[in-house]
Amino acid sequence: AQSVTQLGSHVSVSEGALVLLRCNYSSSVPPYLFWYVQYPNQGLQLLLKYTTGATLVKGINGFEAEFKKSETSFHLTKPSAHMSDAAEYFCALYNFNKFYFGSGTKLNVKP
Amino acid sequence: SAVISQKPSRDICQRGTSLTIQCQVDSQVTMMFWYRQQPGQSLTLIATANQGSEATYESGFVIDKFPISRPNLTFSTLTVSNMSPEDSSIYLCSVGGRGGAPSSYNEQFFGPGTRLTVL
């Protein structure tokens, strides 16, 4: 069965601090993994994706994620949070022509 | 990237009525998907709509409640029928497989969504 678990529905960090959003997955086949961001009243925007190859993936806006097969994880990080990063983030897995989304993590950035 | 528009962007409807949501893409795509995002929750796939075939519905969603049309490679509609307050959600269209190619994961884009409130 395919599933995605995001730990922490809400994460709060100070501006300039490290951002870490956790994602674990379950997949019966090698997964394709994605992080999407959703700003208020907007659709989803792709941050980054892992399909094959290098396990450290760099995305837009300074975000990156590392695929760790042994830990079945794909955590999203950013070294220094900016106020504009406040949004909801979704981890997703793609298999068999379908996307499976995690429940989302709302990131709050404090000044 | 594909540019996707949805109409309406939001609506407030009375229970028992129906609303048709339109999804327009600026390029030809093979696969189109309709999702529901209920308040405070993640996205749930309603159905996959490929041009030239019947839509494929996920468990818990039926054609009578959510009829879908896919008349060509750039357009689709989702109708929410006989609405109840439980249908209040954001409905998102997404597309994959540009240029007729079936590979959806490499070209997956989302529309801005339609915010539906049912009174």
pLDDT of residue B1: 67
- Residue A42 pLDDT exceeds 90: no
The residues that bridge with B37 in the sheet, in sequence order, are B43, B90
Contact B22, B86 (CB under 8 A): no
* Residue written as token pair 């695929």: A67
Number of Cβ within 10 Å of residue B44's Cβ equals 15
User: B30 in contact with A at a CB cutoff of 8 Å?
Assistant: no
- Residue A109 pLDDT exceeds 90: yes
- What is the mean pLDDT of the segment spanning B39-64? 89
Q: Which of A44, A49, A98 sits opposite B110 (nearest CB)?
A: A44
* Residue written as token pair 């996920």: B58
- What is the mean pLDDT of the segment spanning A74-85? 97
pLDDT of residue B98: 52
- Taking CB atoms and an 8 Å cutoff, what residues of chain B touch A43? 4, 92, 110-113
